[in-house]
Amino acid sequence: DFALADLIRFVRSPVRAGFDALSTKAPIYADIRMVQVGIQKKGHGSAVDCLLDHGQEMAREKGITRTSAGMLALGEALNGSIVVIGNAPSCLLSLCEMYGQGIRPALVVGCPVGFVNAAESKEELRALDLPSITTEGTRGGTPVAVAAINEVITMFAEKS
C-alpha cells in the first residue's frame, strides 16, 4: 500500500535507537502473538516476548485489556527495551501514561490500527521524548509494525 509511505513518522532518531538497543540485546516486547511471531529472530540476540504473557490476573481484577495489563505488569522491565504495538491502542496509551512515571523504552514502534483511540494514542506517543516509528491516523496494524521493526533489524544485521 503505497499510501502508507506518506503516513509513516520517524521521531527522535528511532533507527539509531533501535540499533543501540539491539546491540545490547535489549528485549523486544510485542503487544499480541501475531506481532511476536512476525518479528524476525535472526540478525539480533534480543528475546522477543509478548505482553499477553504478563499481567493476566491484573487484567481480570482491574477490568482492563490484556495488553495494557501486560504493559503495566512489566513496568520497569520496559526501560531500555523495544516495544512493538500493531493492534492495541489501549496498550500504547498505557505506555504513554507509564512515561509519566519514568518508564523509558529505547524504541517504540506504535502502529495500532482502528478508529477507537488509534490515532490519538499515536499522537500522544509522538509528543513524548521517546524514539518512535508510528503511522498517522487510523491506519497501521500488524503488517506495518512488523515491517518497521524487521527493517530496523535487517539494517542492524547488515551493519554488524
- Residues 104-120: pLDDT tens digits? 999 999 999 999 999 99
Q: What is the pLDDT of residues 15-41, one digit of tens each?
A: 999 999 999 999 999 999 999 999 999
Q: Distance between CA atoms of 58 and 137, rounded to whole angstroms?
A: 30
The answer to whether the beta carbons of residues 118 and 112 sit under 8 Å apart is yes
Q: What is the pLDDT of residues 72-109, one digit of tens each?
A: 999 999 999 999 999 999 999 999 999 999 999 999 99
Write the CB contacts of 51 (distance below 8 Å, at least 6 apart in sequence): 29, 30, 31, 32, 66, 67, 70, 71, 74, 91
